[in-house]
Amino acid sequence: MTPTLIQGVHKGKVSSAVNSIAASEGFSPEYVQECIGSGSIVIMQRDGHYTGIGKGLRTKINVNLGTSSSKVCLDDEIKKAQIAEKFGADTISDLSMGGDIDRIRKTIFSSTSLPITTVPVYQTVSEIGLKKMTADDILETVRSHAEEGMSSLVIHTVTSAMLAQIRKRKRILGVVSKGGSITSAFMAINECENPFIEHFDTILHICQDHDIVLSLGNTARSGCINDQRDMLQRMEEKNNVYLAEKAHAAGVQVIIEGAGGHIRLDRIAPMIRRYKKMADFPLFVAGPLPTDIGVGYDHIAGCAGASTASAAGADYLCYITPAEHLGLPTVDAVKEGLIAFRIAAHIGDTVKSGVMAEDRSVAMLRSVLDREGQVRCAIDPERASSLSDGEPECTMCGDFCAIKIIQELQ
Amino acid sequence: MTPTLIQGVHKGKVSSAVNSIAASEGFSPEYVQECIGSGSIVIMQRDGHYTGIGKGLRTKINVNLGTSSSKVCLDDEIKKAQIAEKFGADTISDLSMGGDIDRIRKTIFSSTSLPITTVPVYQTVSEIGLKKMTADDILETVRSHAEEGMSSLVIHTVTSAMLAQIRKRKRILGVVSKGGSITSAFMAINECENPFIEHFDTILHICQDHDIVLSLGNTARSGCINDQRDMLQRMEEKNNVYLAEKAHAAGVQVIIEGAGGHIRLDRIAPMIRRYKKMADFPLFVAGPLPTDIGVGYDHIAGCAGASTASAAGADYLCYITPAEHLGLPTVDAVKEGLIAFRIAAHIGDTVKSGVMAEDRSVAMLRSVLDREGQVRCAIDPERASSLSDGEPECTMCGDFCAIKIIQELQ
């Protein structure tokens, strides 16, 4: 059997994945190698396309897309995948739950070169139903997604003890994780343990066979800022760190999803640091949203939360679109959300890694009043150009440009 | 002569302005009275319309609008004023520098009930020119704006020592404050002291006569995140605190503009706290922008910076539009910028004042799956509705809504 990336590292093998990430992120292969060995960096792999996530690396952004049971438009999902790649997403999660899910996933997969993540239980529950599906059905989906070439799979790790905690209903918004709620309901209906935990060794074998990054979901994230960190979150943190260590020991690359959801701004950094103190696995954060009132503009509120999270040490951000809490995002909403989170990731990196060279380049262009240059290096040059108002020079200050005035003075 | 608000407070007079702010912000008149007396709260007044800014009050947002020498469209400026009021701006600054400035200002003034701020030197330099204008011309404009009913006036307080510092040119982007650069150039051309400082007593008399809030401009703000806090900023902070104390002692309400511009995310809160430690006058912050690379999306980057600034104690935020660094904003850009900053102000207030009741209301609507209610209470219900995709129920999760699943489980 081919060794996994981690197993290779333990044998001292420097793979092309390691060399590629080292080169693109500006580190030595030894550094990347060491971090993979300790679990603080993972590499999502797909046909020679590598995305490194973790310690010291640039903060990465994931774009969620896919159909829902009430809205299926494959053309839109293809466009979303393409726009995600065009505007700098690092990974895509296909969360499809409606239509011909196999076909949709395969089409999305072939529409992009980015690594794809799925949440296998979504397909199982969509096709078989919550009451009918069995643990075997779930494992079968996990296996088929792995075989098909997904780079990463998400499982939700709610335990029986956590389920009892959820049932106590102390929060305003109990559980807002879809995968977490489906897994919880499955456990309740069948009066059984979580199949992902019960069959964790099988899952690990599947991940080993295909060198897949295992992502441990964030069932316990809060759904509003008034729902503060609680017992459920503490239980999940501990459990996910335990499972991550087990996965890593088995040579499976692993990411922990945590510190996501709705969190008041001042509580985000402490939450991230607490996680990072417990374990140094790459931390994947959904949002977070520092307010609940941003309906229609949650990508903007999310940028504020995600900037803070990334600055405090989050390695990987799951974007939020303007359509969050309202409906399945349109292609435009996907683009808007992604750009807001690219800005957030960069703001985080200026703090976390002191990376300010791109900012310096833009500032240098401004110092010589090169507006065209600014437009050219904008995340979305077309938009920057349209905001320039068709005028050759900046119309903001016209003749009274501070930069011009001061340069004449100097 | 009618006493100013501060002079009234010192005499124990509780004015209708104080009662109005106390009622709308949920404080006792005594509290507001005390803060006005100490200078930590100011009230911008206009025909019975009051906007309180400062200690303990909700974070306020200013919208800049107005023509430039290269773009004049009065219709657009009227629409900008109207949209600013409609979407919850607290104040408007008319920064017009092109066209018939008197007429434009008067038209904008009559298009809104919000308090208006101006930067008088903009009009003087636009109409007379940098080389021809005199200190008397500048003072004359200050006087005429005051008489016309402006609620607040901005002056730039660069000293000769600061000018010498500017000429040393150690920054990538020297000075990015338009008013500051005009004032500096005037001083250089005429080899004179800053007319606003030299005639500070005259300015104070004008402000006393019309009970106008004096705003001390932020000439020294940095234009890129690689330009860190420097001698110029330290000089301005000290000078502005000195002038603010002098103004306050003369019964003139005063705001300090500071900690604005481009500042790396982790440096924003310390900057705000340093100011607040020096003096407790209301702090007016432009942005700040925690990255320079957001061209075309500076309102989003600005939301991240302004959330952090407001959470750390900034009292009053000057919005940034998507057109920042590119051109004069369109009506739509004004709206987008304002909404991003309303979100930022609110995020700040959840931390600064622990105000989370609006968030709780939205969360309660979510807990009962009341999407219409969410749309209704959105900042922009029209946009929220259009993002809802014309579907009666949320299309995001369809049948697999976590909230529904968990509620059934409970």
User: DSSP character for B161?
Assistant: H
Short-list A81, A84, A95, CA closest to A336: A84
Nearest residue to A217 via CA among A284, A278, A311 = A284
Q: Is the pLDDT of residue A303 over 80?
A: yes
Mean pLDDT of B326-339: 96
In the structure encoding, which two tokens stand for residue B384, read together? 């929220």
Beta-carbon neighbour count of residue A103 at 10 Å? Answer: 11
- Cα(A89)–Cα(B147) distance, integer angstroms: 55
B 308-367 residues inside an 8 A Cβ radius of A: 308, 311, 322-328, 330, 333, 339-340, 343-344, 346-348, 350-351, 356, 358-360, 362-364, 366-367
Q: Tens digits of per-residue pLDDT, A98-138?
A: 999 999 999 999 999 999 999 999 999 999 999 999 999 99
Q: Is the pLDDT of residue B269 over 90?
A: yes
Residue B131 phi/psi, 5-degree rounding, is: -80, -30
CA distance B262 to A321: 26
Using alpha carbons, select from B30, B325, B55, B91 the residue that is nearest to residue A397.
B325
For tokens 């190698």, name the residue.
Answer: A33
Angstrom distance (rounded) from CA A243 to CA A253: 12
Average pLDDT, chain A: 95
Q: Which of residues 225-264 of B touch A (CB under 8 A)?
A: 225-227, 262, 264
| Closest approach of A29 to chain B, Cα-based (Å) | 29
| Number of Cβ atoms within 10 Å of the Cβ of A45 | 23
Q: Compare CB distances from B402 to A178, A311, A380 and report the shortest one's residue.
A: A178
Please give the average per-residue pLDDT across A50-78, as a whole number: 97
What are the start-end ranges of the E strands in A165-312? Answer: 213-216, 254-257, 283-286
B49 within 8 A of B114, measured Cβ to Cβ: yes
Q: How far is B182 from chain A (nearest CA, A)?
A: 7
For A192-226, give one letter per residue: b (16+ CB within 10 A) or e.
eebbbbebbeebbebbbebbbbbbbbbbbbbbbbb
Other C-beta atoms closer than 10 Å to the C-beta of B13 total 12
CB A41 within 8 A of CB A3: no
Contacts of B365 (CB under 8 A, 6+ apart): B373, B374, B377
Tell me the mean pLDDT in the region B187-216. 97
Q: β-pairing, A316-318 with A116-118? A: unpaired
Contact B389 A294 (CB under 8 A): no
What is the Cα–Cα distance from B148 to B127, expressed in whole angstroms?
18
What would be the CATH architecture of the domain defined by A58-352?
Answer: Alpha-Beta Barrel (3.20)
Size of interface A-B (CB pairs under 8 A): 380
- The phi, psi pair for B337, rounded to 5°, reads -65, -45
Of the candidates B356, B392, B375, B343, the one whose C-alpha atom is nearest the C-alpha of residue A325 is B375
Q: Residue A353: what residue type?
A: S
Q: Where are the domains of chain A?
A: 58-352, 357-409
Of all residues in chain B, the one with the smallest CA distance to A372 is B326
What is the distance of C-alpha B26 from the center of its chain?
22
Where residue A407 falls among pLDDT bands split at 50, 70, 90?
A: confident
Instruction: Round to whole Å and give the CA distance between B385 and B372.
Output: 8
Two tokens, residue A58: 């640039």
Least CB–CB distance from A387: residue in B296, B364, B374: B296
Count of alpha carbons within 13 Å of B77, Cβ hemisphere only? 28
To the nearest 10 degrees (0 to 180), the angle between helices B160-167 and B178-190 is: 100
Q: CA nearest A252: which of A283, A285, A219, A206?
A: A206
**Mean predicted confidence (pLDDT) in A267-279:** 96
3-class secondary structure, A41: strand
CB contact under 8 A, B182 and A400: yes
Tens of pLDDT along A5-44?
Answer: 999 999 998 999 999 999 999 999 999 999 999 999 999 9
* pLDDT tens digits, one per residue of B52-87: 999 999 999 999 999 999 999 999 999 999 999 999
Stretch A291-295: mean pLDDT, rounded? 96
Cβ distance A387 to B326 under 8 Å?
yes
Residues of B in contact with A340 (CB under 8 A): 297, 300
Read off the pLDDT band of A404 (50, 70, 90).
Answer: confident
ipTM summary value: 0.97
Q: How many CB atoms are closer than 10 A to CB B150?
A: 24
Q: Is the pLDDT of residue A312 over 90?
A: yes
pLDDT at A395 over 90: no
Segment holding B242, helix H or strand E: helix B231-249
Residues B409, A167: C-beta atoms closer than 8 Å: yes
pTM: 0.97
Contact between residue A53 and residue A282 where contact means Cβ atoms under 8 Å apart: yes
Whether residue B275 lies within 8 A of chain A, CB to CB, comes out as no
So what's the pLDDT on residue A409? 82
Asked if pLDDT for residue A317 goes beyond 90, the answer is yes
CA distance A401 to B402: 53
Q: Is the pLDDT of residue A392 over 80?
A: no
B120 contacts B145 by C-beta, under 8 angstroms: yes
Tens of pLDDT, residues A151-172: 999 999 999 999 999 998 889 9
| pLDDT band with cut points at 50, 70 and 90 for residue A232 | very high
Q: How large is the angle between the packed helices A160-167 and B402-409, nearest 10 degrees?
A: 90
Phi-psi region of B295 (alpha: psi -120 to 50; beta: other; left: phi over 0): beta
Torsion of CA A346, A350, A353, A357, to 10 degrees: 90
pLDDT tens digits, B274-314: 999 999 999 999 999 999 999 999 999 999 999 999 999 99
For strand B116-118 and strand B91-94, is the pairing parallel, antiparallel, or unpaired? parallel
Facing A402 at nearest CB: one of B71, B98, B176: B176
- Chain B, 67 to 106: residues with Cβ < 8 Å from chain A are 68-71, 97-98
Arithmetic mean of pLDDT, A270-292 = 97
Q: How far is A21 from chain B (nearest CA, A)?
A: 24
B116 contacts B180 by C-beta, under 8 angstroms: no
Name chain B contacts of A227, Cβ cutoff 8 Å.
363
* B87-138 pLDDT per residue, tens: 999 999 999 999 999 999 999 999 999 999 999 999 999 999 999 999 999 9
- Residue A397, pLDDT score: 83
Q: Residue A245: is it exposed, middle or buried by C-beta count within 10 angstroms (0-12/13-18/19+)?
A: middle
The answer for A 112-171 residues in CB contact with B (under 8 A) is 122, 125-126, 130, 166-167, 169
Asked if residue B256 lies in contact with residue B240, where contact means CB atoms within 8 angstroms, the answer is yes
Average pLDDT, chain B: 95
Give residue-wise pLDDT tens across range B5-53. 999 999 998 999 999 999 999 999 999 999 999 999 999 999 879 999 9
pLDDT band per the 50, 70, 90 thresholds, residue A390:
confident
Q: Do A70 and B398 touch (CB under 8 A)?
A: yes
Comparing B114-123, B162-171, B216-225, the range with the smallest average pLDDT is: B162-171
Q: In the prediction, which pLDDT does B97 show?
A: 96
Closest-CA distance of chain A to residue B63, Å: 14
Q: Kindly determine whether residue B378 and residue A226, on different chains, have CB atoms separated by under 8 Å.
A: no
Euclidean distance between CA atoms A129 and A410, whole angstroms:
73
